A = this chain, B = another copy of it.
């Protein structure tokens, strides 16, 4: 093989440029030329690594999702083992756009969400990971209910569905500057307090900053 190049690394670099663009100017500003310029390369190179624009978009979306998944599962396994209640809160906090990095990723996700509404093939991956997350959360909620007698007997799957929708909604409102990240965390804690039948105990290091 002549003139080796790290294909995957190049693609990630280009996808990074794409995400920067999408976050600052929306997906409508994402074109081959713009991505190339943002990455500081020629448009021909972008074409070399992605034969079509759709391939580029799909790769970028996959990257966003796998990044998020990775960070979430990493956070879940880090530190000392947490009880299910603390674990749930930790995970949900990770989803909220509380720092600039996650604000950026949130914008990209939102853009892709609207994109997926039109191109159904794009949304399949989203559906899968959302479903897995929902099932996992339901399990954790079940665990909390099993070990607590204060916790109301809410259907765990419904509660998980609501929880995921809640953090997604909170994230969107924070992105839209409807309120700060702290208020979103407070609303989340209010829900968790209801769900676990206790005064919320945000012992785990609370979020640092909000928009």
A interface with B by C-beta (< 8 Å): 24-29, 107, 110-111, 113-118, 120, 123, 126-127, 130-131, 152, 154-155, 158-159, 161-162, 164-170, 172-173, 175-179, 183-184, 186-191, 193-195
Contact = CB atoms under 8 A, between A and B. Distances in A.
A189 B29 CA distance: 40
Of A110, A164, A165, A193, which is in contact with the most chain B CB atoms at under 10 Å from its CB? A165
Given A162-B191, A190-B158, A176 B127 contact: yes
Chain copies in the assembly? 2
Contact of A161 (B127, B159, B179): B179
Given A158-B190, A169-B170, A191-B194, 12 more contacts: A26-B115, A26-B118, A111-B114, A117-B176, A130-B176, A154-B194, A158-B189, A161-B184, A162-B170, A162-B191, A166-B191, A168-B168
